[in-house]
Amino acid sequence: MGGGIMEAVTFHSEPELRDPSLIAAWPGMGGVAITAARYLRDKLGAEELATIEPYDFFDLGAVSVHDQVVGEPEFPESKFYFWRGGEGKDLIIFLGEAQPVARGYQLANLVLDVAERFKTKRVYTFAAAPSHIYHTRRPRILGATTEPRLAEELKGMDVKPMVAGTVSGLNGLLLGVAKRRNMEGICLLGEIPVYTTPIANPKSSKAVLEVLIKLLGIELDLAEIDDWARQAEEEIGRNIESLRESHAEEAQRLLDYFDRLEQASAEEEIQEPLEFSAEELLAEVERFLKREREKGN
Protein backbone atom coordinates (compact mmCIF):
# COMPACT_ATOMS: atom_id res chain seq x y z
CA MET A 1 0.00 0.00 0.00
CA GLY A 2 1.37 3.42 -0.97
CA GLY A 3 2.92 5.91 1.42
CA GLY A 4 0.11 8.38 0.87
CA ILE A 5 -2.37 6.00 2.45
CA MET A 6 -0.13 5.47 5.45
CA GLU A 7 0.12 9.21 5.97
CA ALA A 8 -3.66 9.70 5.96
CA VAL A 9 -4.53 6.60 8.03
CA THR A 10 -3.37 5.54 11.47
CA PHE A 11 -3.55 1.76 11.91
CA HIS A 12 -4.16 0.45 15.40
CA SER A 13 -3.72 -3.21 14.49
CA GLU A 14 -2.85 -5.43 11.53
CA PRO A 15 -5.16 -8.45 11.89
CA GLU A 16 -5.20 -11.41 9.56
CA LEU A 17 -8.66 -11.30 7.99
CA ARG A 18 -10.18 -13.86 5.66
CA ASP A 19 -11.99 -12.37 2.66
CA PRO A 20 -13.69 -9.66 4.74
CA SER A 21 -16.70 -7.65 3.63
CA LEU A 22 -16.84 -3.91 4.28
CA ILE A 23 -19.85 -2.30 5.94
CA ALA A 24 -19.59 1.49 5.76
CA ALA A 25 -21.92 4.14 7.15
CA TRP A 26 -22.23 7.87 7.64
CA PRO A 27 -25.06 9.92 9.23
CA GLY A 28 -28.06 10.48 6.98
CA MET A 29 -31.85 10.76 7.01
CA GLY A 30 -33.44 8.95 9.90
CA GLY A 31 -29.99 7.85 11.08
CA VAL A 32 -30.74 4.58 9.28
CA ALA A 33 -27.19 3.84 8.15
CA ILE A 34 -25.15 5.02 11.12
CA THR A 35 -27.52 3.48 13.68
CA ALA A 36 -27.42 0.09 11.95
CA ALA A 37 -23.63 0.07 11.59
CA ARG A 38 -23.01 1.20 15.17
CA TYR A 39 -25.37 -1.47 16.47
CA LEU A 40 -23.58 -4.08 14.38
CA ARG A 41 -20.19 -2.96 15.72
CA ASP A 42 -21.34 -2.95 19.34
CA LYS A 43 -23.17 -6.26 19.30
CA LEU A 44 -20.34 -8.08 17.52
CA GLY A 45 -17.75 -6.51 19.79
CA ALA A 46 -15.69 -5.33 16.80
CA GLU A 47 -12.19 -4.10 17.59
CA GLU A 48 -10.47 -0.90 16.46
CA LEU A 49 -8.59 -1.24 13.20
CA ALA A 50 -7.67 2.19 11.88
CA THR A 51 -8.53 5.90 11.92
CA ILE A 52 -8.58 8.34 9.01
CA GLU A 53 -6.99 11.61 10.04
CA PRO A 54 -9.63 14.36 9.69
CA TYR A 55 -7.51 17.34 8.67
CA ASP A 56 -7.76 16.86 4.90
CA PHE A 57 -11.54 16.42 4.98
CA PHE A 58 -12.97 18.61 7.73
CA ASP A 59 -12.58 22.24 8.72
CA LEU A 60 -13.80 23.65 12.03
CA GLY A 61 -15.38 27.06 12.43
CA ALA A 62 -15.94 27.09 16.18
CA VAL A 63 -14.82 25.72 19.52
CA SER A 64 -16.80 24.95 22.66
CA VAL A 65 -16.57 27.01 25.86
CA HIS A 66 -17.27 25.69 29.36
CA ASP A 67 -17.01 27.95 32.43
CA GLN A 68 -15.10 30.54 30.40
CA VAL A 69 -12.51 27.97 29.30
CA VAL A 70 -12.15 27.27 25.59
CA GLY A 71 -11.97 23.61 24.68
CA GLU A 72 -9.67 22.01 22.14
CA PRO A 73 -10.90 21.65 18.54
CA GLU A 74 -12.92 18.45 18.14
CA PHE A 75 -12.97 16.84 14.71
CA PRO A 76 -15.47 14.16 13.72
CA GLU A 77 -14.03 10.66 13.76
CA SER A 78 -13.72 8.37 10.76
CA LYS A 79 -12.82 4.97 12.13
CA PHE A 80 -12.50 1.34 11.02
CA TYR A 81 -13.25 -1.73 13.14
CA PHE A 82 -12.77 -5.42 12.45
CA TRP A 83 -14.51 -8.63 13.48
CA ARG A 84 -13.43 -12.19 12.85
CA GLY A 85 -16.44 -14.33 12.12
CA GLY A 86 -14.50 -17.27 10.72
CA GLU A 87 -15.31 -19.30 7.61
CA GLY A 88 -14.98 -16.29 5.33
CA LYS A 89 -17.37 -14.15 7.37
CA ASP A 90 -14.88 -11.59 8.65
CA LEU A 91 -15.99 -7.96 8.60
CA ILE A 92 -14.52 -4.49 8.42
CA ILE A 93 -16.93 -1.85 9.74
CA PHE A 94 -16.32 1.80 8.91
CA LEU A 95 -18.13 4.54 10.83
CA GLY A 96 -17.92 8.20 9.84
CA GLU A 97 -19.29 10.61 12.44
CA ALA A 98 -19.90 13.27 9.77
CA GLN A 99 -19.91 13.67 6.01
CA PRO A 100 -17.33 16.14 4.70
CA VAL A 101 -18.50 19.26 2.90
CA ALA A 102 -15.85 18.73 0.23
CA ARG A 103 -13.56 15.94 -0.99
CA GLY A 104 -16.19 13.25 -0.48
CA TYR A 105 -14.95 11.38 -3.55
CA GLN A 106 -11.40 11.31 -2.16
CA LEU A 107 -12.67 10.10 1.22
CA ALA A 108 -14.67 7.31 -0.42
CA ASN A 109 -11.56 6.18 -2.29
CA LEU A 110 -9.52 6.26 0.90
CA VAL A 111 -12.08 4.08 2.71
CA LEU A 112 -11.87 1.56 -0.15
CA ASP A 113 -8.07 1.74 -0.18
CA VAL A 114 -8.03 0.61 3.44
CA ALA A 115 -10.57 -2.13 2.73
CA GLU A 116 -8.55 -3.42 -0.22
CA ARG A 117 -5.47 -3.55 1.99
CA PHE A 118 -7.24 -6.52 3.60
CA LYS A 119 -8.37 -7.95 0.23
CA THR A 120 -11.99 -6.86 0.60
CA LYS A 121 -14.04 -7.59 -2.50
CA ARG A 122 -17.55 -6.60 -1.39
CA VAL A 123 -19.01 -3.42 0.12
CA TYR A 124 -22.34 -2.94 1.91
CA THR A 125 -23.95 0.41 2.69
CA PHE A 126 -27.32 1.49 4.10
CA ALA A 127 -29.56 4.46 3.39
CA ALA A 128 -33.05 5.79 4.04
CA ALA A 129 -35.94 5.74 1.59
CA PRO A 130 -38.43 8.43 2.70
CA SER A 131 -41.96 7.33 1.83
CA HIS A 132 -45.57 8.20 2.56
CA ILE A 133 -46.02 5.42 5.12
CA TYR A 134 -47.39 5.46 8.66
CA HIS A 135 -44.85 4.99 11.43
CA THR A 136 -46.44 1.74 12.63
CA ARG A 137 -46.04 0.08 9.26
CA ARG A 138 -43.19 -2.38 8.73
CA PRO A 139 -40.68 -0.63 6.49
CA ARG A 140 -39.94 -2.12 3.10
CA ILE A 141 -36.31 -2.62 2.13
CA LEU A 142 -35.14 -1.48 -1.29
CA GLY A 143 -31.97 -2.76 -2.87
CA ALA A 144 -29.44 -1.23 -5.24
CA THR A 145 -26.38 -3.13 -6.49
CA THR A 146 -23.27 -2.42 -8.51
CA GLU A 147 -24.16 -5.12 -11.05
CA PRO A 148 -27.31 -7.06 -12.01
CA ARG A 149 -26.09 -10.47 -10.86
CA LEU A 150 -25.89 -9.26 -7.26
CA ALA A 151 -29.60 -8.50 -7.35
CA GLU A 152 -30.18 -12.26 -7.52
CA GLU A 153 -28.86 -12.56 -3.97
CA LEU A 154 -31.57 -10.20 -2.77
CA LYS A 155 -34.36 -12.31 -4.21
CA GLY A 156 -36.24 -14.25 -1.59
CA MET A 157 -35.25 -11.74 1.11
CA ASP A 158 -38.28 -9.50 0.65
CA VAL A 159 -36.11 -6.76 -0.87
CA LYS A 160 -37.73 -4.54 -3.48
CA PRO A 161 -35.45 -3.57 -6.40
CA MET A 162 -34.73 0.15 -6.56
CA VAL A 163 -35.75 0.85 -10.15
CA ALA A 164 -34.76 4.52 -10.29
CA GLY A 165 -33.71 7.38 -8.04
CA THR A 166 -30.60 8.43 -6.18
CA VAL A 167 -28.80 7.47 -2.99
CA SER A 168 -27.52 10.73 -1.56
CA GLY A 169 -24.33 11.38 0.35
CA LEU A 170 -21.42 9.06 0.97
CA ASN A 171 -23.70 6.14 1.78
CA GLY A 172 -24.48 6.17 -1.94
CA LEU A 173 -21.29 7.63 -3.39
CA LEU A 174 -19.16 4.88 -1.86
CA LEU A 175 -20.95 2.26 -3.96
CA GLY A 176 -20.43 4.27 -7.13
CA VAL A 177 -16.72 4.50 -6.36
CA ALA A 178 -16.66 0.77 -5.57
CA LYS A 179 -18.21 0.03 -8.95
CA ARG A 180 -15.56 2.14 -10.69
CA ARG A 181 -12.93 0.07 -8.88
CA ASN A 182 -14.60 -3.25 -9.86
CA MET A 183 -15.65 -4.05 -6.30
CA GLU A 184 -19.02 -5.65 -5.56
CA GLY A 185 -21.48 -3.43 -3.76
CA ILE A 186 -24.97 -3.64 -2.26
CA CYS A 187 -26.97 -0.79 -0.73
CA LEU A 188 -29.95 -1.60 1.48
CA LEU A 189 -32.41 1.27 1.78
CA GLY A 190 -34.93 1.19 4.62
CA GLU A 191 -38.23 3.03 4.29
CA ILE A 192 -38.92 5.78 6.79
CA PRO A 193 -42.01 7.98 7.08
CA VAL A 194 -41.41 11.32 5.39
CA TYR A 195 -42.48 13.13 8.55
CA THR A 196 -39.78 11.45 10.67
CA THR A 197 -36.72 12.17 8.50
CA PRO A 198 -35.04 14.49 11.07
CA ILE A 199 -35.14 11.91 13.91
CA ALA A 200 -33.59 8.49 14.42
CA ASN A 201 -35.58 5.59 13.00
CA PRO A 202 -34.33 2.40 14.70
CA LYS A 203 -37.20 0.43 13.16
CA SER A 204 -35.75 0.97 9.70
CA SER A 205 -32.20 0.33 10.93
CA LYS A 206 -33.35 -3.00 12.35
CA ALA A 207 -35.02 -3.89 9.06
CA VAL A 208 -31.84 -3.36 7.03
CA LEU A 209 -29.84 -5.32 9.61
CA GLU A 210 -32.22 -8.27 9.27
CA VAL A 211 -31.42 -8.43 5.55
CA LEU A 212 -27.71 -7.85 6.05
CA ILE A 213 -27.20 -10.71 8.49
CA LYS A 214 -28.95 -13.06 6.07
CA LEU A 215 -26.61 -11.95 3.29
CA LEU A 216 -23.57 -12.37 5.54
CA GLY A 217 -24.74 -15.60 7.13
CA ILE A 218 -24.07 -14.38 10.66
CA GLU A 219 -26.11 -14.18 13.86
CA LEU A 220 -26.91 -10.92 15.63
CA ASP A 221 -28.99 -10.22 18.72
CA LEU A 222 -31.59 -7.64 17.60
CA ALA A 223 -33.54 -7.50 20.86
CA GLU A 224 -32.11 -4.16 22.00
CA ILE A 225 -32.74 -2.29 18.75
CA ASP A 226 -36.20 -3.87 18.60
CA ASP A 227 -37.00 -2.39 22.02
CA TRP A 228 -35.68 0.99 20.92
CA ALA A 229 -37.78 0.83 17.76
CA ARG A 230 -40.91 0.07 19.78
CA GLN A 231 -40.24 2.98 22.14
CA ALA A 232 -39.62 5.37 19.24
CA GLU A 233 -42.85 4.27 17.56
CA GLU A 234 -44.82 4.81 20.75
CA GLU A 235 -43.28 8.27 21.19
CA ILE A 236 -44.29 9.33 17.68
CA GLY A 237 -47.80 8.05 18.33
CA ARG A 238 -48.02 10.07 21.56
CA ASN A 239 -46.86 13.19 19.75
CA ILE A 240 -49.54 12.79 17.08
CA GLU A 241 -52.23 12.26 19.72
CA SER A 242 -51.00 15.31 21.64
CA LEU A 243 -51.26 17.29 18.42
CA ARG A 244 -54.78 16.01 17.94
CA GLU A 245 -55.86 16.90 21.48
CA SER A 246 -54.24 20.32 21.74
CA HIS A 247 -54.05 21.73 18.21
CA ALA A 248 -56.66 19.91 16.17
CA GLU A 249 -57.88 23.01 14.37
CA GLU A 250 -54.49 24.52 13.52
CA ALA A 251 -53.03 21.17 12.46
CA GLN A 252 -56.09 19.73 10.73
CA ARG A 253 -54.33 19.27 7.39
CA LEU A 254 -51.52 17.33 9.03
CA LEU A 255 -53.91 15.24 11.09
CA ASP A 256 -55.93 14.35 8.01
CA TYR A 257 -52.70 13.24 6.37
CA PHE A 258 -51.78 11.03 9.34
CA ASP A 259 -55.29 9.50 9.39
CA ARG A 260 -55.09 8.61 5.71
CA LEU A 261 -51.66 7.06 6.19
CA GLU A 262 -52.92 5.01 9.12
CA GLN A 263 -55.85 3.78 7.07
CA ALA A 264 -53.57 2.87 4.17
CA SER A 265 -51.33 1.00 6.60
CA ALA A 266 -54.27 -0.98 7.97
CA GLU A 267 -55.25 -1.90 4.42
CA GLU A 268 -51.62 -2.72 3.60
CA GLU A 269 -51.60 -0.18 0.82
CA ILE A 270 -49.14 2.58 0.06
CA GLN A 271 -50.66 5.68 -1.45
CA GLU A 272 -48.64 8.49 -2.94
CA PRO A 273 -48.59 11.39 -2.82
CA LEU A 274 -51.55 11.50 -0.39
CA GLU A 275 -52.07 15.22 -1.01
CA PHE A 276 -48.54 16.15 0.12
CA SER A 277 -45.27 15.78 -1.68
CA ALA A 278 -42.34 15.16 0.65
CA GLU A 279 -41.23 18.76 0.35
CA GLU A 280 -44.74 20.11 0.94
CA LEU A 281 -45.21 17.91 3.99
CA LEU A 282 -41.98 19.01 5.64
CA ALA A 283 -42.80 22.63 4.81
CA GLU A 284 -46.24 22.22 6.42
CA VAL A 285 -44.69 20.69 9.55
CA GLU A 286 -42.21 23.56 9.74
CA ARG A 287 -44.96 26.14 9.28
CA PHE A 288 -46.93 24.58 12.13
CA LEU A 289 -43.90 24.40 14.41
CA LYS A 290 -43.05 28.00 13.61
CA ARG A 291 -46.56 29.11 14.57
CA GLU A 292 -46.26 27.23 17.84
CA ARG A 293 -42.86 28.75 18.60
CA GLU A 294 -44.25 32.21 17.97
CA LYS A 295 -47.07 31.47 20.43
CA GLY A 296 -44.47 30.43 22.98
CA ASN A 297 -45.62 26.78 23.09
Mean pLDDT by 10 residues, the chain (297 residues): 66 93 94 96 97 88 84 88 88 94 91 94 93 85 90 85 81 93 94 86 95 94 95 87 74 78 68 56 65 59
Task: Check whether residue 258 and residue 165 sit in a common domain.
Answer: no
pLDDT value of position 207: 95
Number of domain units in the chain: 2
pLDDT value of position 3: 44
Predicted TM-score (pTM) of this structure: 0.85
Task: Check whether residue 277 and residue 211 sit in a common domain.
Answer: no
Task: Check whether residue 186 and residue 233 sit in a common domain.
Answer: no
Domain boundary among 193, 220, 247: 220
In terms of Cα–Cα distance, which of 7, 9, 98, 93 is closest to 46? 93
Task: Check whether residue 207 and residue 145 sit in a common domain.
Answer: yes
In terms of Cα–Cα distance, which of 198, 189, 199, 186 is closest to 165? 189
Task: Check whether residue 57 and residue 136 sit in a common domain.
Answer: yes
Task: Check whether residue 205 and residue 250 sit in a common domain.
Answer: no
What domain range includes position 201?
3-220
In terms of Cα–Cα distance, which of 95, 149, 99, 135 is closest to 233? 135
Amino acid 203 reads K
**What is the CATH classification number for the domain harbouring 42?**
3.40.50.10900
Alpha helices (H) in the chain, listed in sequence order = 3-8, 32-44, 104-117, 148-154, 170-180, 202-216, 223-246, 252-266, 278-295
Domain boundary among 220, 250, 278: 220
pLDDT value of position 88: 72
Task: Check whether residue 189 and residue 276 sit in a common domain.
Answer: no
pLDDT value of position 279: 65
pLDDT value of position 136: 79
